[in-house]
Structure 1
């Protein structure tokens, strides 16, 4: 058993112009989770994001979508985690993943930032601690490093968006296990899923 999860963060960029872009896949997951729990997310300026919470097994689980830009995501996560004294091992970060195709979602414990600016800032703002859990939501790689920025800031084709949504739905099915700290069990289930 791993630590239970007390903070779930969905990475993205703020503003209507970015809402439907691939880089906001992590925020899509937290939005979907909030809806499934009947939670309304509201802006909390002191946490630099949209927040809400629900209870699981008598414990409070906080949700956060930073309203900073992606490369300052750690400002929001650190502010909320520090205030509520949530250790890094009890944080789940959902984010877009270039190295996975749309329709695939993977759970991972710890690791580096892999060039992801949101993860890079989060690791930096949390004292270079890396032991948070990641929900990696596939968006595919455009094939060339030069194309990454327009790719992540672009909108997926409708078929790809549908696959991403199905992968998020699958992740929601196992979020209860993740929150309880049953990471390995959830990983075994999720890591074999692929929306076709």
Structure 2
């Protein structure tokens, strides 16, 4: 008899761009299949607070996803929920932008999105395999 309603939440004590080894270790320790893993990450290509669900193998330039893929092996499809942080006007400002603090309004939009994700998480879990490649929650 398997455990069907159990979830683990891993919040690595590392920077996102080097979190892959701790995620891989958790998968191994708790015997979690890569296809059952769900990664939450920020997304420049979404407006602040927008949410997108995706099954995929690529990193789309995201250094954290790149490091996860490096550690779990390329070619592995895994689920992810992207939370939009918006994009600066100039490409040269991206590093500073992603490391900067959110405004009060931006923070509230992101908190509302996280609440929506939590509210819908059980439904997402039940229907993961039926989700299309990109699906918005908002």
- The verdict on a shared fold, with TM-score over 0.5 as the criterion, is yes
Q: 1:106 to 1:80 in 2, by over 3 A?
A: same
Per the normalisation by structure 2, the TM-score is: 0.88
Structure 1 residue 98: Cα displacement? 0.3
Q: 1:105 to 1:176 in 2, by over 3 A?
A: same
Distance 2:4 2:38 in 1: 19
Q: Which structure 2 residue ranges, 5 or more long, are not aligned? A: none
Structure having greater relative contact order (Cα 8 Å, sep ≥ 6): 2
Structure 1 residue 145: Cα displacement? 1.9
User: Deviating runs (4+, > 6 A) in structure 1?
Assistant: 184-187
Aligned-partner SS, 2:80: strand
Corresponding residue for residue 25 of structure 1: none
Corresponding residue for residue 191 of structure 1: 136
Per the normalisation by structure 1, the TM-score is: 0.63
Corresponding residue for residue 57 of structure 2: 111
Q: Please tell me the root mean square deviation across aligned C-alpha atoms, in Å.
A: 1.9
User: When the two structures are aligned, how many residues end up with a matched partner?
Assistant: 134
Q: Which structure 1 residue ranges, 5 or more long, are not aligned? A: 1-56
Between structures 1 and 2, the one with greater strand share: 1
